[in-house]
Amino acid sequence: MKHILNQHQTPAVRTSWSPDDNELLTCGMDAVRRWEVKSGQCLHVYQKPGITMISCAWLPDGKYIVCGMVNWSVCLWEVEVDGAESQSWTCKQMTANVLEMATIGDQFIIICTEHNILLLNRHTNVWSTAIHEVQPITSFWLSEDNKFLLVDLLKEEIHLWNVEKEPHLVYAWNRATGTPLGTLSGHTGIVNCFSWNLKNSHMLPSASADRTIRIWDLE
């Protein structure tokens, strides 16, 4: 055994390695602590008085960490400026606490409802649903190349999702076979939703973070 890290005052619930593997984040319900792996020394404590911490992750550049809290908020801390809080967000659509967190570039992947995994873009402050599952989600794991998301479900199933798809495109799939039919390009922001025309199956509108709604004719 190399170290025992025992400064948390409450149960530890999450850990996250820094991009260079030299530091480790540990999330207790009281605080998130940043440790130097070689020495086992606690380098900094991140907390918000009176608010329970339940998740943590590093941004890919190693300069920021992001933490999820029980009040449905997400906070970004800058590592090199004495742990100064940089930004914070609250998702009003959340129906459960933030359970898990990972990062892809400027976007955070967050489980914040029982059946949905959401994306938060920290520059545009836009929340969007990335994955919807019929069964309750318990956890997920993001591949090292940020291309795939492994989603663990309550009823002993694991689903593999491709998250490399461009978020500003609309993808059409064959419902029976699951094979892709094509893509619709034109939006410049994340596509948040679309719906079929019930009387004309070749027509659908898509709504995007670029503040436009586009009507597509698939004939």
pLDDT at 178 over 70: no
Mean pLDDT of the chain: 80
Whether residue 135 sits in one domain with residue 27: yes
pTM of the model: 0.66
Residue 27 one-letter amino acid: C
Contacts of 1 (CB under 8 A, 6+ apart): none
pLDDT at 8 over 80: yes
29 within a domain of the structure (yes/no): yes
Between 97 and 132, the higher pLDDT residue? 132
Whether residue 56 sits in one domain with residue 76: yes
2 within a domain of the structure (yes/no): no
pLDDT at 195 over 80: no
Distance separating alpha carbons of residues 18 and 196, to the nearest angstrom: 43
Query: Quick one: what percent of the chain has pLDDT higher than 70?
Result: 84
Whether residue 49 sits in one domain with residue 137: yes
Whether residue 78 sits in one domain with residue 144: yes
Whether residue 213 sits in one domain with residue 158: no
Structural domain boundaries enclosing 212: 170-217
Number of domains in the chain: 2
4 within a domain of the structure (yes/no): no
pLDDT at 115 over 70: yes
pLDDT of residue 67: 87
5 within a domain of the structure (yes/no): no
209 within a domain of the structure (yes/no): yes
Name the residue with tokens 């479900």: 153
* pLDDT, tens only, 149-174: 888 888 888 888 877 665 666 777 76
How many C-beta neighbours within 10 Å does residue 197 have?
13
Judge residue 111's burial from the number of C-beta atoms within 10 Å of its C-beta, 0-12 exposed, 13-18 middle, 19 or more buried.
Answer: buried
Whether residue 132 sits in one domain with residue 181: no
Whether residue 16 sits in one domain with residue 57: yes
Q: Which of 143, 162, 181 is the last residue of a domain?
A: 162
Q: What is the mean pLDDT of residues 46-62?
A: 86
36 within a domain of the structure (yes/no): yes
Whether residue 23 sits in one domain with residue 123: yes
pLDDT of residue 112: 62
Q: What is the mean pLDDT of residues 4-11?
A: 86
Whether residue 187 sits in one domain with residue 130: no
* pLDDT, tens only, 136-148: 888 888 887 777 8
Going by C-alpha positions, the residue among 217, 193, 173, 71 that lies closest to residue 127 is 193
**Banded pLDDT at 39 (limits 50, 70, 90):** very high
pLDDT of residue 132: 81
pLDDT at 62 over 80: yes
* pLDDT, tens only, 66-107: 888 887 788 889 988 776 788 888 876 655 555 567 777 667
